[in-house]
Amino acid sequence: MGTEIERKFLLAGDGWRGLGKGKAYCQGYISSDGRTTVRVRTVEGKGFLTVKGPTLNLSRAEYEYQIPYHDAKEMLDTLCPYPLVEKIRYIVNFAGSIWEIDEFLGANEGLLLAEIELADPRQTFVMPPWIGKEVSDDPRYRNANLARTPFSTW
């Protein structure tokens, strides 16, 4: 079983800009009932299907599989309700930790989030100066919820 352990933060500055290259992501949700999430994603000509379980103490089961890009595009167009979640993801290495910074577009434009994946929920790390408030426990910031209730509607 794959396990995802992540913490999520708002950004408090632009000091991260220029530290990593961005990639365009588009994702939609076939199912998201609070217990199980099924996501379709495209990035740089590749398609992915991901199944996630419920979050408990920052951890959840996660299974991700590469699928044909054409299939992923077709699923996004026909199986996923709109709006889709569009974003540019930047990978930034800071003090030995990898941070994923998402700059959202479309219906979630204006939202900037940083995530760090951990090996253990109690793992320590150095907090970059551009990190703001932690929102790991706020369900509004989960991508599946941003698809249902975009940031622009808050």
Q: Look at the domain 3-147 and name its fold.
A: Hypothetical Protein Pfu-838710-001 (2.40.320)
Q: What is the pLDDT of residues 66-92, one digit of tens each?
A: 999 999 999 999 999 989 999 999 999
Rounded CA gap, 117 and 55, in Å? 14
Q: What is the pLDDT of residue 1?
A: 57
Rounded CA gap, 142 and 59, in Å? 13
Domain residue limits, the chain: 3-147
Strands (E), 95-145: 97-104, 112-117, 131-134
Out of 25, 29, 90, 141, pick the active-site residue: 29
- State percent of the chain over pLDDT 70: 99
Q: What is the pLDDT of residues 34-50, one digit of tens each?
A: 789 999 999 999 999 99
Q: What is the pLDDT of residue 54?
A: 85
Residue 58 has pLDDT above 90, yes or no: no
pTM here?
0.91
Rounded CA gap, 37 and 34, in Å? 7
29 tagged catalytic: yes
Residue 7 has pLDDT above 70, yes or no: yes
The HSE-up count of residue 154 (CA atoms within 13 Å, CB side) is 12
